[in-house]
A and B are shown apart, each in its own frame.
Chain A
Amino acid sequence: MSADGVTTVTGARTEPEIGHDGRKALRVEHLTITAPGHRMLVADVDLALDRGQTLGIVGESGSGKSLTARAIVGLLPAGLRATGTVTYDGTALLGTHERTLRSVRGSRLSLLLQDPFTMLNPLQTVGAHLVESLPRDVRKNRGRAREETVRRLAEVGLSADVSVRYPFQLSGGMRQRVALAAALAKDPELLIADEPTTALDVTTQHEVLQLLMDVQQRRQMGLVLITHDLRVAFSVCDRIQVMYAGSVVEQAPRDELAQAPAHPYSLGLLLADPPVDHYLDHLVSIPGRVPPADTIVAQCGFAERCSWTQPECVAARPPLAVITPARSSACARLADIRGELAQRADNAERAIGTPPEPAPDTHPVVTITDLSKTYRTVPLIGRAQTTTALDEVSFAVREGESLGLVGETGSGKTTIARSILGLTRPDSGRIDLGGIEIADYRRLTRAQRQQVRRRVQVVFQDPYASLNPSLRIGSTLREVLARRGNVSDLPGEIGNLLARVGLPGDYAGRLPSALSGGERQRVAIARAIALQPRLLICDEPVAALDVSAQAQVLELLRAIREADGMSMLFITHDLAVVRQMTERVAVLYRGRLVESGDTASVLDRPQHEYTRTLIDAVPTGRNAS
């Protein structure tokens, strides 16, 4: 960096080196990662990226995408072993000394991690984080370090006074910006971002992605974006590499992949993502779940879940075959089914369903009037602060309808749900549930309380935490059925419940830890519907699930509502989910209800500024710039 160069951050390396004879800057060949006991986690992954290029690695949990990223920068968790070759500009990275890696990490390759809530040290100020990451010569000079910190913060859109704050004083989006500034502090040539926006709200996600793209273009930096969301990858990356069960199944330029996927799994991912702009009569999902990488060494990993499987698919592992120079696929039957794949992708574009009619203005199941709640936090030093979670919110859920409640973190969605469930006591306002005033559960008689509990049930967000880890599925369900009473054949009824949510009866004997996320959420749904409630509150029921499981669970909820005719209060930050699951929608912004109406009209013709921001922030797959 030139001594007087204080205005441009991009002037980091003044002479952009040209890739030697077309050789890619980052080259990964035959990368294989194994756990102790020769258990394979990632098998034979190839990857190449030149300066200034962007590559998206897409896959569900268990696909090995994060491990691949960590292997490249030499930060695999202890006990895992990587083989193959990873070179950067001809320097071998795999198996070299830690000292060599350290000279590369940060300054040439940099890694940005997923969780902005845990990756910053809570005892260090933002400034300290940045200074620590700056090049040595800048770091040693206090004046320059301070100058540089301010400049770096400005690059990620933060003002200078942020540098004296601590991570816990910042929002998730700001933390991710700080982390990005730190990752960029040594002006790397390549940034690997591992799910950088997964933990963020949709509006914040939009901003951070936009920022990543700006920075990438301004610096002509290489970018590897790892994500489970195909649309996020589409909006940022030129090239996409789809990973499944530890290996690459397809590699293609963005537009080609979007229009005509060349692997059934890529198609599945494309279709499983519900569209935000129209309703689908049937939500397509990928059945089953991702197998462990070591169980599919000698066959196509996707064979079990694929609808085109032939004996040849399980006879041997189909290699990643080159279709065009820019494109390759690991489907053994590609020649036969390519047209069909493109056809289905195309059909999905046009499959616009007719959304169900909004329920007539029937009797409300629950009516909320002027609900308010503030939280008070008293810091060790300083004055107590109050946060308004709900500010005089009023709405009603009608008999048989599904009402969506939309808003970002801190908008008060969950506080409403918890108030209806009696888990939080609102400061003021009324909640009328079928003639019983339930704003204060403590005032209810025992009989009333029992009645209320039966009428309202809930499905929580995180299926990993909402099932008791030490109770078998059967015991969990038995307990609920015992509450319902009048069940003569308990084991039979447990089987029925499991069947209703699409799980085999022998799951009753399993512990939650033996289930996948989607399966756990099915159990949570079974538990909620066992009491035959009139109102089912779904609090972000698919936010923690993989894309393929998400569509399954949504379709299941639709089916259950159709069968039982219950009302739903559907809480989510995802507008695509709202479009698919609700007839009416209410938009919350900072504890206030800013807009409500029929789902279709609100999403198509938003009236309030904030609703428009939310809709614009949804990654559509088109380039966001």
Chain B
Amino acid sequence: MTIQAVPVPAPSTRRRARRIPVVPLLGGAALLAVLVCVVSGAALAPQDPTAQHPTLSVTGPGPGHPLGTDQLGRDVLSQLIAGARSAVIGPLAVAVGCVLIGVAAGMAAAYFGGVVDTVVNRFADLVYALPALLIAVVVVGVLGGGYWKTAAVLLVLTIPFEIRLCRSAAQVQVRQPYVDAARTLGLSPWRILFRHVLPNIVPTVLATFLLDFVGALISFAALSYLGLGVPAGTPDWGSMLAAGQQLITENPWLSIAPAVLIIITAASATLLGDWAHERLSRGGERA
């Protein structure tokens, strides 16, 4: 015999007349536009971004060239669109790698503690102690560039941040009784981590993913500005910025446009991550 609990309807989650989240919407739209450029690449560009027109060397905005041309007469707008791919793909790869490794290492450190925690933490400390961008410049400069080699170096340099944040988020969760309950059921540690702990630290993971992306985006741009990372001749925001610097009086757009794009992309990702983190963690609260 059991006493029947009277079934009650799930409490209706009343929401206040919802305000349109303007900032994240704008950020999302900007990121989406950038992503479209990344996927389509040069195909979306009004002109061939590599086509040179020596007669049109460094002209300001005009018919056919809304943002003017560069030294070799290439269309700036087309170059920007084509350059999105190299500017974004690398940072994206860095962020994905960071999350995959950082989440696993951070959760393991929080859950197992002891030696695992010490090893993971000392690694993080070690990398923290290095002057990140300087190391990147030295490694890429000495060993010779290569786009993916740059990405790998940035990955190693960014991981500690991800590890630290995931570890602290997971530490809160592994002390919760539901983790104890999972342990008493005899579940394996990795199952507990990925099935029970991970869903509860998703807000943090998502936010740090976007922050990692922003960090890598700026580092990549900085490196290609210095002439590292991206092979010469490939359209890229960072290298355009460098090239446009000398020609700032002839066609300011050549340097302003890529700079603005970098800023917009980075700011959008940050704001979107912030908003998502807040929303997700609010949803996880007790009713």
A residues sitting closer than 8 Å to B (CB atoms) are: 36-37, 39, 285, 287-289, 292, 304-305, 418, 421-423, 449-450, 453-454, 456-458, 460-462, 464-471, 479-480, 483, 499-504, 506-507, 510, 513-514, 516, 518-519, 522, 524, 527, 531, 552, 555-556, 559-560
Contacts and interface: CB of A to CB of B under 8 A. Distances in A.
Contact of B181 (A449, A466, A469, A559): A466
A109 B5 CA distance: 41
Contacts of A453: 184-186
Contacts of B8: 288-289, 516
A237 B187 CA distance: 50
B13 to A, nearest CB: 9
B29 to A, nearest CB: 29
14 contacts: A37-B16, A37-B17, A289-B6, A304-B6, A423-B184, A453-B184, A454-B186, A469-B178, A514-B10, A514-B11, A514-B287, A522-B5, A527-B185, A556-B3
A556 B3 CA distance: 7
Contact of A469 (B5, B184, B185, B200): B200
B183 A423 contact: yes
Contacts of A503: 5, 7
B19 interface: no
A469 B284 CA distance: 7
Interface string B180-219: 1111111100000001100110100000000000000000
B55 interface: no
Given A37-B16, A514-B10, A467 B178 contact: yes
Contacts of A471: 195-196, 199
A479 B195 contact: yes
A527 B287 CA distance: 21
Contacts of B202: 470
Interface in B29-75: none
A179 B118 CA distance: 41
B185 A531 contact: yes
Interface size class of B (residues with CB under 8 A): 20 to 34
A288 B5 contact: yes
B180 A460 contact: yes
A304 B199 CA distance: 37
A346 B6 CA distance: 27
Given A483-B187, A502-B3, A556-B3, A465 B177 contact: yes
Contacts of B3: 285, 287, 502, 552, 555-556, 559
A559 B3 CA distance: 9
B249 interface: no
A348 to B, nearest CB: 18
Nearest to A560: B2
Nearest to A451: B186
Contact of A464 (B2, B181, B182, B286): B286
A462 B5 contact: no
Contacts of A37: 14, 16-17
A415 B11 CA distance: 37
Nearest to B284: A469
B22 interface: no
B178 A287 contact: no
Contact of B6 (A287, A418, A469, A560): A287
B1 interface: yes
Given A423-B183, A465-B176, A469-B200, 6 more contacts: A453-B186, A457-B184, A468-B200, A471-B196, A479-B187, A514-B287
A483 B200 contact: no
A292 B199 contact: no
Contacts of B196: 468, 471
B200 A470 contact: yes
Contact of A462 (B4, B177, B186, B287): B177
Chain B residues touching A, majority SS: loop
Contacts of A456: 184
A304 B9 CA distance: 13
Contacts of A514: 10-11, 287
Contacts, number: 114
Given A465-B177, A470-B284, A288 B186 contact: no
A453 B14 CA distance: 41
B2 A556 contact: yes
B175 to A, nearest CB: 9
Contacts of B6: 287-289, 304-305
B199 A287 contact: no
Tell me which of B5, B6, B11, B196 has the highest count of chain A C-beta atoms within 10 A of its own C-beta.
B5
A580 to B, nearest CB: 15
Contacts of B287: 513-514
Interface in B210-265: none
A516 B195 CA distance: 24
A4 B226 CA distance: 80
A36 B181 contact: no
B199 A468 contact: yes
Contacts of B284: 469-470
A560 B199 CA distance: 32
Contacts of A556: 2-3
Nearest to A531: B185
A247 B195 CA distance: 43
Nearest to B179: A468
Contacts of A464: 286
B181 A524 contact: yes
Contacts of A510: 10
Given A466-B181, A468-B196, A479-B195, A502 B186 contact: no
Nearest to A305: B6
Contacts of B185: 453, 457, 479-480, 483, 527, 531
B177 A466 contact: yes
A421 B184 contact: yes
Contacts of B199: 468, 470-471
A454 B177 CA distance: 18
B63 to A, nearest CB: 55
A467 B16 CA distance: 28
Contacts of A304: 6
B180 A423 contact: yes
A552 B186 CA distance: 29
A453 B180 CA distance: 12
A510 B177 CA distance: 20
A60 to B, nearest CB: 15
Contacts of A469: 178, 200, 284, 286
Interface in B260-287: 284-287
Contact of B5 (A287, A292, A560): A287
A461 to B, nearest CB: 8
B2 A483 contact: no
A615 B150 CA distance: 71
B14 to A, nearest CB: 7
A288 B2 CA distance: 14
Contacts of B187: 479, 483
A504 B7 contact: yes
